[in-house]
Structure 1
């Protein structure tokens, strides 16, 4: 039985906490919740797996201590790993680092293609409602920013964890070009991933419903976290 601590009880963490409390993750139980004012040390005393659901700043603050204490860490805010120093600390053990796929699919195929031979071109275009990207008065689609996934994930920490997930799958934050588009007509959050290389050509389009509690995230994200938790519990 895995003893699980959850950092954050917002749109993602709240769903994960509720599922654990209701016993919906066989082989795992909720041991602690770390929120504002709750000491991480108390959670580390009772949990062997910590799930980060609180954003990039929370991961940077708590993640290294979780790993150093020898606890496993499941990360939602993958964009924080654009910080190479933080990434290395989280990979340094003795705890183990796990990532969730979040709101995107096709990562296994991209990882396999990149392992066969470096991909020559990878692009992800993310389209969201303007308000979630801090854009005002848009009357049509507006390209907000374009650049390497490292740059985009750092500039939009609440909206572009998907770009970071793609970059980690292909093994480089700098080879992946990320584009962020604000579109007032977007009822769904769209991620279009294209890639090409010696293994072939790929195109994935993912269209998720935004979370009602936090439109910058997708409804499916906490359920991706729970799917990963079920795998780890098995």
Structure 2
């Protein structure tokens, strides 16, 4: 938090600014102010920073009274690998004008250069790494072969299913033809029975006519015999 104690519009004097807290934002503000002063910028405000911590960086918030920890010091133990190598917290020159050699411990500069440029960085590719890469490539090949096998198996299964479907259709057609043939045979048998029954009736009718004609012939024979060779008998 920054508080301007004097109005810059109504006074020709340099404004007095009270900066509460020297945490990350406050440190950036002070660094920018110092940079502008080194560049010769005039009419810069007079800044007074108020910080409860004995060192810049701010204080971690804690629920326990008196248990506050300096944020900048805590970052040394909880920060990243490169942050832990910083030993000069306040370089004499702006950071954007010098490399990390001005900020880091000289004993750490070599490792930073090696890791950044790779000039003196040893080859970290170990046998275990190469083995892992080869194993990963082998596993990738196995997965590709397995996937290809699955595709081929699926294609073969689809072909078999299509063949089975065609055979099932042929069997269904044969079954339909057999059923139609059975129906035709049953119809022909019924028609044959009807024809046999009609022929039997005709035969019986013919036998009846034959019997009737035989009876008529027999009566005519007796008539002729009775009348003396004539059909008409004369009584005189």
What is the TM-score normalised by the length of structure 1? 0.19
**Is the helix fraction higher in 1 or 2?**
2
**Is the strand fraction higher in 1 or 2?**
1
Q: Which has the larger radius of gyration?
A: 2
